[in-house]
Amino acid sequence: MLSTPRQAQFQLPSKGDRSFKGPDGRTYRWKSNAGLLRNEMQCSDTKGVVVATYRITMMAVSKDGELRINPPGRFMVDFLVATALAMRTPNF
């Protein structure tokens, strides 16, 4: 049985943040926290519960990142992967 694909709906960013509606109809927000040696984004719900964190080490040989999905976000892994990649992709 195939499930119906759902589309993530982004809202325009404010200060580098982006929000989207999850499959449960709730709003989630990716917030960027860039530092000198690390670039980190956290995705949280409207109550401030962090559901995922995406990290890239700036001084690494490769620019691979690490996406950690916390238990509250495990029901929407596909949305978190897609939206984290969308946040990392530069807007041209």
Q: In what order do the strands lie in the sheet with 27-34?
A: 18-21, 27-34, 38-45, 50-57, 66-69
Q: Please, where are the H alpha helices in the chain? A: 77-88
- Please check the confidence at residue 26 and state whether its pLDDT lies above 60: yes
- Please check the confidence at residue 47 and state whether its pLDDT lies above 90: yes
User: What pLDDT sits at residue 38?
Assistant: 66
Do the beta carbons of residue 58 and residue 36 sit within 8 Å? Answer: yes
- Please check the confidence at residue 28 and state whether its pLDDT lies above 90: yes
What's the whole-model pTM score?
0.72
Provide the Cα torsion 29, 66, 88, 10; round to 10°. -30
Q: What rounded mean pLDDT belongs to the chain?
A: 79
User: What pLDDT sits at residue 85?
Assistant: 86
Least trusted range by pLDDT, from 6-20, 57-71, 74-88: 6-20
Tokens describing residue 88: 């990392």
More confidently predicted of 22 and 11: 22
Kindly list the domain boundaries of the chain, sorted by start residue.
Answer: 18-88
